[in-house]
């Protein structure tokens, strides 16, 4: 039974919604909304080559940013206390890499 619950929780997904993504605030009732959406986001949108402004329009302001990287917190991953992060790297104002980490 425990294995079944773990498998179901790991495969849970949510359709990407830009407004919901931008307005998400981590809480007990929605601790992982972005985590649940990130696979659909990456499936729906080819983000490589997209401009910095287009990313801001789609995803809003990142939680943290450096000169060439945006970091978006994704919330709990459903694997213990792990928190997901999506890092978007820019070169010459366009996306060159997207990494999702779980840890």
pLDDT tens by residue, 1-32: 333 333 334 568 899 999 999 999 888 888 99
pLDDT tens by residue, 79-101: 778 999 999 999 999 999 999 99
| Size (the chain), residues | 103
Phi-psi domain of 78 (left: phi exceeds 0; alpha: psi -120 through 50; beta: other): left
Domain boundaries, the chain: 2-102
What's the predicted TM-score (pTM) here?
0.85
Q: What is the pLDDT of residue 4?
A: 32
pLDDT tens by residue, 40-83: 999 999 999 999 999 999 999 999 999 899 999 999 998 778 99
The gap from C-alpha 92 to its chain's centroid, in whole angstroms, comes to 23
Just give the CATH number of 2-102.
3.30.1450
């Amino acid at each position: 039974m425990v294995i079944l619950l773990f498998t179901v929780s790991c495969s849970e997904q949510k359709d990407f919604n830009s407004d919901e993504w931008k307005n998400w605030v981590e809480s007990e009732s929605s601790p992982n909304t972005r985590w649940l959406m990130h696979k659909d986001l990456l499936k729906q949108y080819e983000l490589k080559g997209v401009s910095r402004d287009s990313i801001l329009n789609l995803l809003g302001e990142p939680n943290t940013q450096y000169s060439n990287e945006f970091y978006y917190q994704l919330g709990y991953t459903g694997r213990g206390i792990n928190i997901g992060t999506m890092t978007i790297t820019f070169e010459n104002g366009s996306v060159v890499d997207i990494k999702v980490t779980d840890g």
